[in-house]
Structure 1
């Protein structure tokens, strides 16, 4: 089942005139639901609204945060998976036009699946990554949005599978570290926690925002948004990835370097505490 423009219906083929399919003319949010509650609801909603404005989509007057929440929860309740679920809302311009759309009015589609656990846990199994250098992320505002054009992530995922890697690290056109295929990247060097700034082309991640806020409350940790070079990764004490579904995923190996998971453990604990308090 899906939620298409507010109507719960059986899943069906997307029409061939759909602009998200034809041109990648769409943006999306992936949210985690626990016990009937959307985690980080405000952050997801306001990022979606900001993204719609950037790409010149018309935001309907009734597309409030309460409506956004209601539509997602309607679907997960119908599917009886509200205890723990992953939902994706994709917003796209209505059919019509070629590169120039005939309208900036939007449609949306929501789909959802059940998740196995409610809280965030940490996976310390071997997780090896390497650089993906076939294509590069451009340093521009569009790179920070969750658009339906994810060809770099797709080809990078195929490269990772072909080479026995758990993930790949993406670089920008200045050959600096941007993020991973499925999330933002953080580097621990001494008492410093560093992540690339959004201006480098990094996704403006929801979990990235939570981790930055939580880490600033950890005594003895300096938090910074700085440019990271591939060479810096090999000097790091710890590397981990973040996204709203997984939480924190430690990187155990990059090339010949193996990493600790100390701060990742602490931040997962604090993340779960912050969720239970809200």
Structure 2
């Protein structure tokens, strides 16, 4: 088996034991992450990812290294992929966390980071052949706050929703906020189509501000769809929809076949994922 490498604070290493027991992300969930799709040497939507990195660091009062800009991150990712010989499709995870030290009160607000990568089985965005069967996870509600939109290293609600999904034999689950609005899936943003008009949640509803969410909004508008990105969804909105699909940075788009007794089409999903590949995959 070939050695695989990661990056820690800009340095390539094949030592996977780089995280100490004092790591604040391990102890307190004190950090955030980005999951990034790379096709060949093209890092998809890096500008959106980097905007969210800056926003997340500011909200968590973390100080990124002064040299940590978009070009530096791009070079780090490509250096890692080349070292691991990942030349087609790769899933990259960037984890950013406050440096070791302190209890709840940190000794420093300086940030460290790691970058990991793994090969993807297919380098393009591929629509699922069989639509998803989804349900609603209502045991814990996601609270709306300034932290709702970031990809926090504290992911307990998504873990519990995913366990519930498995227990109930769903392919995915939708989460609720404290107002019982439907806001997102376990690792994806939610889109609803009715009469060829596309709707998605407002980020003020508590959903993650997804990179692919923003990319699909821009893409759909460029394809002459009417898009509303400030919506609040209840169950009735899903029942009345013609189509439902989920988006994230790695999969692109996954279409939903069923929710409760309702069945859906995937016409818009097919068109958008085809255009996504045409515009962004070499």
Q: What's the TM-score bracket when you normalise by the shorter of the two chains?
A: over 0.9
1:260 equivalent in structure 2: 265
- Give the Cα separation in 1 of the matches to 2:13 and 2:64: 23
Which residues in structure 2 correspond to 1:219-234 (within 5 Å)? 219=224, 221-225=225-229, 226-234=231-239
Q: 1:240 Cα deviation (Å)?
A: 0.4
Q: Is the 8 A contact 2:124 2:281 kept in 1?
A: no
CA-to-partner distance for each residue in 1:170-203, whole Å, 9 max, x for gaps?
0100000110001000001112210010000111
Q: Alignment partner for residue 164 of structure 2, among 154, 159, 164? A: 159
Q: 1:144 Cα deviation (Å)?
A: 0.2
Q: Which runs of 5+ in 2 are unaligned?
A: none
- Give the Cα separation in 2 of the matches to 1:178 and 1:188: 15
TM-score (norm 1): 0.96
- Give the Cα separation in 2 of the matches to 1:276 and 1:67: 22
Q: Alignment partner for residue 178 of structure 1, among 177, 183, 192? A: 183
Q: Alignment partner for residue 277 of structure 2, among 259, 272, 277? A: 272
Q: 1:50 Cα deviation (Å)?
A: 1.3
CA RMSD of aligned residues (A): 1.2
Q: Is the 8 A contact 2:131 2:255 kept in 1?
A: no
Q: Is the 8 A contact 1:33 1:82 kept in 2?
A: no
Q: In structure 2, the residue corresponding to 1:211 is in which secondary structure?
A: helix
TM-score (norm 2): 0.95
Q: In structure 1, the residue corresponding to 2:153 is in which secondary structure?
A: coil
Aligned residues: 276
Q: Is the 8 A contact 1:30 1:88 kept in 2?
A: yes
- Give the Cα separation in 1 of the matches to 2:97 and 2:265: 42
Q: 1:13 Cα deviation (Å)?
A: 5.6
Q: Is the 8 A contact 1:144 1:203 kept in 2?
A: yes
Q: 1:276 Cα deviation (Å)?
A: 4.2
Q: Alignment partner for residue 51 of structure 1, among 51, 56, 67? A: 56
2:10 equivalent in structure 1: 6
Is 1:39 matched up with 2:47? no
- Give the Cα separation in 2 of the matches to 1:98 and 1:82: 42
Q: In structure 2, the residue corresponding to 1:134 is in which secondary structure?
A: strand
- Give the Cα separation in 2 of the matches to 1:216 and 1:87: 28
| Runs of 4+ deviating beyond 6 Å | none
Q: In structure 2, the residue corresponding to 1:51 is in which secondary structure?
A: helix
1:62 equivalent in structure 2: 67
